[in-house]
Chains A and B, each alone.
Chain A
Amino acid sequence: MKTVTRIEAAARKPSAPSGYRARIVRFLRECWADRLSYLFLAPFLLSFICFIIVPVALAMLLSLTSFNGFEFPRFIGVSNFIYMFTQDVVFMKHTIPNTLKFAIIVGPGGYILSFVLAWLIHQLPRSIRDYFSLAVYAPSIMATSVALTMVWTAAFSGDSVGYLNNILLSLGLIESPQLWLQDPKYLMTFMIIVTLWTNMGVGFLAMLGGLQTVNTELYEAGRIDGIKNSLQEVYYITIPSMKPQMLFSAVMAIVSAIKAGSISSGLSGMAITPQYAGHVINNHIYDYAFLRYEWGYASALSVVLLLMSYAIMRLSYKLFGTKEDE
């Protein structure tokens, strides 16, 4: 036995380098055989690397430097992060609590709201469903800053010509017009309301689509198995059957929550909101990037934002991810 293995080993030894070479040659040949696939993928991949992968990597590199946009970045290690968590008073006192409050209500809240609306609309007859889904989706089309600023500043304007003030005044609920969008007390509430209003985007449509994929026979089977009300039906049948769509729209909810962050300046009309009332991490990044030109520190903030959203995405995969065998 021993001799055989030794002979085999001896036989293999000289051929080992050529084995590697053969493997590399085979690998290259396979790549060449798949050249059409790579060709098809090339435009996407090139722009993907150029404008998504490299910027993220660059942001991570810049976060370790001190960089003002003019001089060459100077490496300073993790001092940006240390400063962020120990000395940046605004960040710890306003940005973090505001961001958490905003994200927790707008993210999961908006997500649940869009599921409930999609589910209710799905109960309607097919012929009129489209009108309702259009009505729910339409505000998200107009979520451009111009229309947004115009509509909401008119609706919540601080004088008695504002719609909300006018309604509340005529109902006698308030005695004098309130500065809804400039008053630190109310700004956050209005940011959340407006975001929920205008954020029923792609995630909502995905849920509508998901509801259509649920096998209707399952509902009958469920009824036989003792499901009593629609709430149980949703929990035991609908949601498990449309897990993949739930996951997709969870990811979309994260994206829109990140994007919606800059709404505070649109509503209040100021880059930095009064008393930092609506100051979320997007405003903090904007502040350091385009008002103070501390690009190193701004990049560190973006890295924190990216890591946070990545963590939330992992969490939603945990909640809604399907196992291989399902």
Chain B
Amino acid sequence: MLLTFRRKFRFPRMMLFVFLAAVGIFMLLPIIFLVNNAFKPLNEMFLFPPRIFVQNPTMYNFEQMFLHSSAGVVPFSRYLFNSAVIATITTLAVIVVSTMAGYVLSKHRFHFKALIMGTVMIALMFTPETVSIPRYLIVSGLGLKDSYLAHVLPFLASPVAVFLMKQFIDQIPNSLIEAAKLDGAPDMYIFLRIIIPLTSPAVATAGIITFQIVYMDVEASSLYMTKETMKTLSYYAEAMTQNIPGVAQISIAAAIGLLMFVPNLIIFLIFQRKMIQTMLHSGVK
């Protein structure tokens, strides 16, 4: 029985593997191109017929990027610094805020809980792009323009992170919390010592999602910031690819494209398993 079963299924599984490998390579094509392009010397970029793989890898594009920006008003390192600070602070802040909210929404009982949860559920489909004008009015109304707060605060409320967190905390047994309460543990202790360690996969997921959004965001820099020194790497990258004419543009774009992609990839690689683990509980009921 088992043997026939195996014989029957071996061939399709091999086919499946080959098919998925083809799909995988196809999906990875833009990334392979991105990586190779960053190390191509100029003459290879305009080679005919075009090649994906680099022949003589060079760091010329990266040198070009540093050279160009050091000649500018604001050095490249300033954009990098802004991006690093903003992405780190925002990611950490979103994690703390969302875990707190998720814990309360999952384990506490209080008035308005159903109302708040319902609003969060609707807000899951919220995209900031749709209301960029009112958000701009609010940011400038609060006097946050040209401050780091305007980079951080608008991203602080993340319905997706709160929702994932709440769903994940839902499956932590109540008895665990009650037992701790019986032993006289205060709420703060329960939160810090029981909830936080148990929710690490959800924390990682919320972190990845937020980091990606913040690191790539251009809106805050282009709408809320008038000073060049307050803008981020993603804004610089976009300005770079649009404003410099000619050959230098392509060279710098190749380098900066890779630079924008790598941190995201590294973070995703580290936390991939945790992310899928979180998704086990991501269901909307």
Contact = CB atoms under 8 A, between A and B. Distances in A.
Interface in A36-70: 36-38, 40-41, 43-45, 47-48, 50-56, 58-59, 62
A313 B284 CA distance: 12
B279 A142 contact: no
Interface string A117-151: 10011011000001111111111011111110111
29 contacts: A27-B111, A41-B104, A47-B154, A50-B142, A50-B153, A51-B135, A52-B126, A53-B119, A55-B131, A59-B131, A62-B133, A117-B23, A135-B23, A137-B268, A139-B31, A141-B212, A145-B238, A146-B240, A146-B257, A149-B253, A150-B37, A154-B50, A197-B27, A202-B209, A212-B280, A244-B282, A244-B283, A255-B124, A259-B127
Interface stretch (B69-77, B80-88, B173-181, B270-278): B270-278
A95 interface: no
Interface in B233-285: 234, 237-238, 240-241, 253-254, 256-258, 260-261, 264-265, 268-269, 272-273, 275-285
A206 B163 CA distance: 13
A119 B122 CA distance: 28
Contacts of B279: 202, 205-206, 208-210, 245
B16 interface: yes
B148 interface: no
B12 to A, nearest CB: 9
**Chain A at the B interface: mostly helix, strand, loop or mixed?**
helix
A309 interface: yes
B20 A151 contact: no
Contact of A150 (B13, B19, B34): B34
B169 interface: no
Interface stretch (A9-17, A155-163, A231-239): A155-163
B42 interface: no
B28 A209 contact: no
Contacts of B28: 135, 138-139
B198 interface: no
A306 B119 contact: no
B97 A138 contact: no
A247 B284 contact: yes
Contacts of A53: 119
B265 A138 contact: yes
A151 B284 contact: no
Contacts of B209: 202
B50 A244 contact: no
B16 A51 contact: no
Interface of A: 27, 30-31, 34, 36-38, 40-41, 43-45, 47-48, 50-56, 58-59, 62, 117, 120-121, 123-124, 130-139, 141-147, 149-152, 154-155, 160-163, 166, 170, 197-198, 200, 202, 205-206, 208-210, 212-213, 242-245, 247-248, 251-252, 254-255, 258-259, 262, 282, 285, 289, 295, 298-299, 302, 305-306, 309-310, 313, 321-322
A141 B187 CA distance: 38
Interface centre among A55, A120, A161 (most CB of B within 10 A): A55
Contact of B20 (A132, A142, A244, A322): A132
B53 interface: no
B131 A58 contact: yes
B138 A51 contact: yes
A160 B31 contact: no
Contact of B162 (A34, A44, A243, A262): A44
B157 interface: yes
A202 to B, nearest CB: 7
